[in-house]
Each structure stands twice: as structure tokens, then as C-alpha cells.
Structure 1
Amino acid sequence: MGERIETLLRIPLAILYGIILQIIGVIVAIVTIVQFFYTLILGRRHRGMARFANSYASLAYHARRYLLFATNKKPFFGGPGWEETLPCDFDRTKKEPSDGFY
């Protein structure tokens, strides 16, 4: 696909990504509040909630890279998506006791 067509395609995709990320962002905000109280009460983070927030952060990162012309890989559509996340603390194999997350 040519650069001009790719550039024009980013406009409707920016709107679509904005809507999707906004909806998921509201859910992540609720999860963050629940995670805060969960950690405050039990003294540890919930693995599933941390991974969910990490997936959102990774997806938002990939979408912004596309919209800022840093890459031509479209998030969701053949490019990085929800399952292609950046590393999370829980995914590390080596535990570091000094960071307080384990």
C-alpha cells in the first residue's frame, strides 16, 4: 500500500482506535481501583488484573506508534493486538526480591 493511501487510512483508524481504547480505558480504570484496594488489603497484586492492565497499556502503545507514524503495523488488523503484550512483572522468570512485587 502506498504511503499516501496509508496516511489517509490512519484518519478513520485513529477514530476507531480512540473509541476502542476509550471504552477499554474505562474498564482499566475500574480494574486499577479494584487492584489498589486488593493490594492494600492483601499486600500483593492480583496477577490477572495486572496482566489485563498490561495488555491495555501494550495495545495503547502499539496504537500510538501507528498513529504517530513510527510504524506501519496496524494494531488489531494484522499487526500487534491484545495478545502481543510487552513484558509484565509477573512474566519474569527471575524474581527480584528488592522490588517488592513478589
Structure 2
Amino acid sequence: MGERTEALLRIPLVILYSIVLEIIGLIVGIVVIVQFFYTLILGKRHRGMARFANSYASLNYHVNRYLNFATNERPFFGGPGWEETLPCDFDREDRREKYLEIKEAFNDHDF
């Protein structure tokens, strides 16, 4: 598909993506409020709600990249979608523990 056709295709996709992101954004707004009170009461964040909000933020990022002509990779339509998220803090924690294990093993080893 040529650049002109891709540019023209963005017009209806802007409308579609705006509607989808607005609906999901309203749900995320409710999740953020619930997450706020959950964190205040229990002193920790809920993993599922944090990942849901992260998925929305990642999708919003991919859509904005497409709509701002940074990429021709169409979100949802053969490109990144809801599943392809950027790392969440909870995902980084798992890697941090593994990193510290490797670092300790490396520091304990004599060369």
C-alpha cells in the first residue's frame, strides 16, 4: 500500500481508534480510582488493575505512533494490539530478582 493510500486510511481509523480509546479510557479511569483506594487501604497495588492500565497506556502509545505518522504499523490490524504491551512495574520486578541472582553469582565467582 502506498503512502498516500495509507495517509487517507488514517482518517477513518482516527475516528475508530478515538471511539475505542475513549471507551477503554473511561473504564481505565474507573480502574484508577479503584486502584487508588485499594492502594490506600491495603498498602500495595493490585497487579491485575495495574496491568490493565498498562495495557491501555501501551495501546494508546501504539495508536498515537500510527496517527502521528511515526509508523505505518496499524494497531489491531496486523500491528500491535492489546496483547503487545510495554513492560509494567510488576513485570520488571521479576527480571530484577533474576538480575540480582546473576549479579551475586558473578560477584562470588573468582576469575
How far apart are 1:46 and its partner, in Å?
0.1
Give the alignment's TM-score, normalised by structure 1. 0.92
| Structure 1 or 2: more helix by fraction | 2
In the TM superposition, structure 1's runs of 4+ consecutive aligned residues that sit over 6 Å from their partners are none
Give the alignment's TM-score, normalised by structure 2. 0.84
Corresponding residue SS for 1:57: helix
Corresponding residue SS for 1:44: coil
Q: Deviations over 1:45-86 (max 9, x none)?
A: 000000000000000000000000000000000000000000
Q: Which has the larger radius of gyration?
A: 2
Structure 1: 5+ residue runs without aligned partners? 96-102
Q: How many residues align?
A: 95
Q: How does 1:36-55 map to 2 (within 5 A)?
A: 36-55=36-55
RMSD of the TM alignment (CA)? 0.6
- Name the counterpart of 2:96: 94
Q: How does 1:1-102 map to 2 (within 5 A)?
A: 1-92=1-92, 93-94=95-96
Q: Percent identity?
A: 80
Structure 2: 5+ residue runs without aligned partners? 98-111
Letter in 2 for 1:58: S
Letter in 2 for 1:59: L
Asked which structure has the greater RCO (Cα within 8 Å, sep 6+), the reply is: 1
